[in-house]
Amino acid sequence: MPHGLELNHPIVVPEKPALEGLEDKWIARWEAEGLYRFDATRPRDQVYAIDTPPPTVSGSLHVGHVFSFTHTDTVARFQRMRGKAVFYPMGWDDNGLPTERRVQNYFGVRCDPSLPYDAAFVPPEKPGKHPLPVSRPNFIELCARLTQEDEKAFERLWKHLGLSVDWKMTYATIDRRSQRVSQLSFLRLLDRGLAYQLEAPTLWDVDFRTAVAQAELEDREQPGAYHRIRFARPDGGFVEIDTTRPELIPSCVALVAHPEDERYKPLFGSEVVTPLFGARVPVRAHALADPEKGTGAAMICTFGDVTDVVWWRELALPVRAVIQANGAFRPVKWGETGWESTDPTRAQQHYDQLANLSAVKARARIVELLRESGDLLGDPKPITHQVKFYEKGDRPLEIVTSRQWFIKTMDHRERLLQRGREIDWHPPYMRTRYENWVNGLAGDWCISRQRFFGVPFPVWYKVRDDGTIDHEARLLPDLNSLPIDPSTDVPSGYSAEQRDKPGGFSGDPDVMDTWATSSLTPQIAGRWQEDPAFFATVFPMDLRPQAHDIIRTWLFTTVLRAEFEHGTVPWKNAGISGFVLDPDRKKMSKSKGNVVTPMGLLEEHGSDGVRYWAASGRPGADTSFDTGQMKVGRRLAIKLLNAARFALLQAEPRGAVVEPLDRGMLTQLSRLVEDATGHLDAYDYTRVLERTETFFWTFCDDYLELVKSRRYGDFGPEGAASANSAMLVALSTLLRLFAPILPFVTEEVWSWWQPGSVHRASWPTSEEVVESIGGRDDQSAAVLAATQAALADVRRLKALEKRPVKAVISRAVLPHALEALRPSIRDFQAASHVRELSFDSVTEAQLVFEDSVPPSGAPA
């Protein structure tokens, strides 16, 4: 028997149903009943596992989080109603730079790893003008303290939004499990030669003083200028180059031009002399040099940009680095090895004016020196150009030579592209973004960061007798001892007193990039290497939901780690959401300062109203922030309350569904269910909302009005019973169709007349909907369609005549095309207040109102 005809629960309808207070009421009950608890005893084919995005815990959530997490929750609720045990944990991404910056600002401290731990340390009540230095353990304690407070606030908001998360399975990217998984995976990669350490040119943020990976870059348009500078040739002539970074002339190690550039072919293999510093550098050929750019010749510096790195590596050039980790020019002694000059004294005089200056200040000074020496030709030409920044940084990136950890990626690109093709992408075109990223990789993945609050590398090094660190003599922990912190823990066979002493050991000072941990979220949440049976129940997972901007980071790196650890994709589906845009069509983000915090919206419009707006955003599409849509969602929720109250207040008599309009409505509803199920299986929740909402409003405006008189008994008990039974089937079905998107109002209405929770009820089927009428009745559906069309015509004409909706029509003549409504003629006449009805060869309805004479041309 279909849902709606079984009334094993007393009907209790509030006198004045309202949306206010529903969130608090149902959140408490869901939690008390463990409604969304994951059942790990179910077999894998009955499990739906979600690799939930762990939001960054560094302040507050914004409306963009609400937008994308609503999409995920809609899918989770749908799959649960399909009978699946849904694995839906919540993670917190609480390590990394955003947390450190927040802690520094909040407490007014800065980390100084050279300081000892102070067990009695209490942070200042108010941040002072100058940050207070604290030890690394003290700093990490403050990070953990603040993130715990943020996590509690995040959890309250997520619950208020109605996320059907199993809160017993929450994890954090800095907790012990995450550290153990991250360190274990790293050591396994190291053992297989897939992770390695190298001293090499590295993209570097001079403010955060840390390495940055390619995936964390963004181009920003900046003002600059081309400076034309001359290099002296041995024959007394000059070679001219254009550069936006004249301050890097002391780090120049070669000039380069295209091998087919006739202007420079005679110079290849010869040397030129750098202005101001008198360093002899070769002129070399390379295909990356652009003959159309500037003079066609360029200087290779170590290092100005990533192209310099390519030239340096492929042309086997020396290193002459000048920029330090803090962004300032380091002191140099010209004339020593590596810093040879035709005039060391002159070179030193010039360089001393740059030492310890920032790149910007050094640029201004060297331009003055070049102008004085006559090596600057003409005035600089202002331009705007794209400059690379760390996505969270404020100053352009530099390239600094440093020792970093890497995971091999370049050798595995073809395999990673194949894995991308094994994933079902929603929407499908997002796969192209993944492939573009993989094809555009310029180097292996740098996973080390020179920060403090993160997962430490589980490595110590032997210290030589002369006190230097032997980075090739690694000391590794036993895997069963993980997680460890090499800055406080001691390797086997050593004592704490031997730390950083000759003949002793030294811990690796770096931490892993936050993506190096987040790329393992399936393994962390799935308890990899901790509970094999549990992991087999959830992995590979079914869905990775995320925004399109982190395909290059989170999605790509997770695919990489799953390939290396398991030789498979980490999930079957990738559901990609778009951005939330502000009124100026710009992405909302905390860094841009244009975000809207969501709690006020949830309280003003109700969680269901906000979720309605979020679900209106199509998969992958950027969506405008729109409180108007939230108001529409709230009106929809209120209408659900009122329509349900109408249907349930007089649910008797009930009986066979025999009337054409009732049978036609259920036939149309069965088609909606089939359509909605197909679209949700394809992760198109927006289409489901559109179709269900359209049906619901038509159901309220047309069907309920058409059967109102009959269900009140005007045409006998059999007609009333048919309407009541059909309405209850429709109400049960519509509540379940809306439940994944509007969880609070649907649960409230369900509780008035059904046992249990709507969110544990079965998803409706088209067969179930038409079970009471013996299958789809297309003829009755045609009757309903004709009746609705006629009702719309009558309403339209009444509006044109400025008549009230209930104005009585003494006689109506309808076109023959609407004669299909004859089986429902009593319902139609009652709803449209028509006393006499006939059909004729007219092009549109002809109406005679009770208080008027027949219109001109109307049939007699």
Query: pLDDT category, 857, cuts 50, 70, 90?
Result: very low
The pLDDT assigned to 306 comes to 84
The angle subtended at Cα 186 by Cα 181 and Cα 190, nearest 5°, is 150
Task: Report the alpha-carbon distance of residue 301 to residue 286 in Å, rounded.
Answer: 15
Distances (CA, A) of 834 to 524, 704, 791, 816, 845: 68, 17, 11, 17, 12
The pLDDT assigned to 706 comes to 97
The helix or strand, by DSSP H or E, that contains position 431, with its residue range, turns out to be: helix 430-439
The pLDDT assigned to 61 comes to 76
Phi and psi dihedrals of 321, rounded to 5? -85, 140
pTM over 0.95: no
Distances (CA, A) of 278 to 110, 336, 444: 42, 13, 36
Return the half-sphere exposure (C-beta side, CA atoms, 13 A cut-off) of residue 417: 13
Is the separation of the CB atoms in 184 and 479 below 8 Å? yes
Q: Report DSSP letters for 54-105, one per residue.
A: --B-SS---HHHHHHHHHHHHHHHHHHHTT-EEE---EEB--SHHHHHHHHH
Q: How many CB atoms lie within 10 A of CB 572?
A: 14
Q: Check pLDDT > 80 for residue 588.
A: no
Rounded to the nearest 10 degrees, what angle do helices 97-107 and 136-161 cross at? 100
Show the beta-strand stretches assigned E in 304-419.
381-390, 398-407
Amino acid letter at 645? R
pLDDT digits (tens, 9 = 90+) for 38-78: 999 999 999 999 999 888 876 667 788 899 999 999 999 99
The pLDDT assigned to 740 comes to 98
Distances (CA, A) of 667 to 134, 202, 672, 774: 71, 65, 9, 10
Higher pLDDT, 528 or 204: 528
pLDDT digits (tens, 9 = 90+) for 432-442: 999 999 999 88
10 Å CB burial of residue 268 (0-12, 13-18, 19+) is middle
Is the separation of the CB atoms in 242 and 227 below 8 Å? yes
The pLDDT assigned to 390 comes to 84
Phi and psi dihedrals of 817, rounded to 5? -60, -20
Instruction: Write out 606-649 in H/E/C secondary structure.
Output: CHHHHHHHHHCCCCCCCEECCHHHHHHHHHHHHHHHHHHHHHHH
Tokens of 44: 């894998």
Query: pLDDT category, 6, cuts 50, 70, 90?
Result: low
Task: Report the alpha-carbon distance of residue 53 to residue 547 in Å, rounded.
Answer: 9
**Closest of 623, 616, 557, 556 to residue 587, by C-alpha:** 623
Contacts of 484 (CB under 8 A, 6+ apart): 183, 456, 458, 477
pLDDT digits (tens, 9 = 90+) for 69-113: 999 999 999 999 999 999 999 999 887 777 888 888 889 998 888
Task: Report the alpha-carbon distance of residue 187 to residue 193 in Å, rounded.
Answer: 10
pLDDT digits (tens, 9 = 90+) for 408-417: 999 999 999 9
The pLDDT assigned to 855 comes to 46
Amino acid letter at 494? Y
pLDDT digits (tens, 9 = 90+) for 706-730: 999 999 999 999 999 999 999 999 9
The pLDDT assigned to 95 comes to 75
Is the separation of the CB atoms in 62 and 598 below 8 Å? yes
Phi and psi dihedrals of 794, rounded to 5? -65, -45
Tokens of 455: 């997962």
SS3 assignment, position 401: strand
Is the separation of the CB atoms in 809 and 832 below 8 Å? yes
Phi and psi dihedrals of 236, rounded to 5? 95, -10
Higher pLDDT, 313 or 67: 67
The pLDDT assigned to 310 comes to 86
The pLDDT assigned to 858 comes to 45
Phi and psi dihedrals of 398, rounded to 5? -110, 170
Q: Check pLDDT > 60 for residue 237.
A: yes
**Closest of 449, 426, 22, 451 to residue 212, by C-alpha:** 449
Distances (CA, A) of 205 to 13, 238, 400, 605, 856: 62, 36, 9, 42, 83
Q: What is the mean pLDDT of the chain?
A: 92
Query: pLDDT category, 859, cuts 50, 70, 90?
Result: very low
pLDDT above 70: percentage of residues in the chain: 96
The pLDDT assigned to 148 comes to 84
Return the half-sphere exposure (C-beta side, CA atoms, 13 A cut-off) of residue 683: 22
pLDDT digits (tens, 9 = 90+) for 419-429: 999 999 999 99
Least confident of 242-256, 523-537, 840-854: 840-854
Q: Is 273 left (phi over 0), alpha (psi -120 to 50) or beta?
A: beta
Task: Report the alpha-carbon distance of residue 402 to residue 326 in Å, rounded.
Answer: 13
Tokens of 557: 């790196």
Tokens of 283: 């002129």
Query: pLDDT category, 192, cuts 50, 70, 90?
Result: very high
The pLDDT assigned to 585 comes to 61
Is the separation of the CB atoms in 355 and 332 below 8 Å? yes
Higher pLDDT, 157 or 213: 157
Query: pLDDT category, 202, cuts 50, 70, 90?
Result: confident
Task: Report the alpha-carbon distance of residue 183 to residue 595 in Å, rounded.
Answer: 35
Q: Report DSSP letters for 182-249, one per residue.
A: HHHHHHHHHHTTSEEEEEEEEEEETTTTEE--GGGEEEEEEEEEEEEEEEE-TTS-EEEEEES-GGGG
Sign of the torsion formed by the C-alpha atoms of 582, 586, 588 and 592: negative
Amino acid letter at 239? V
pLDDT digits (tens, 9 = 90+) for 342-397: 999 999 999 999 999 999 999 999 999 999 999 999 999 999 988 888 877 888 88
Least confident of 138-152, 448-462, 490-504, 779-793: 138-152
Return the half-sphere exposure (C-beta side, CA atoms, 13 A cut-off) of residue 672: 26
The pLDDT assigned to 55 comes to 85
Distances (CA, A) of 40 to 49, 73, 166, 182, 533: 11, 19, 12, 24, 9
pLDDT above 90: percentage of residues in the chain: 75
Rounded average pLDDT over 227-246: 95
Contacts of 576 (CB under 8 A, 6+ apart): 425, 426, 427, 430, 545, 546, 547, 548, 551, 619, 620
Task: Report the alpha-carbon distance of residue 486 to residue 506 in Å, rounded.
Answer: 8
Structure letter (DSSP) for residue 849: E
Q: Report DSSP letters for 499-516, one per residue.
A: BTSTTSEEE---EE-HHH
Highest mean pLDDT among 154-158, 600-604, 784-788: 784-788
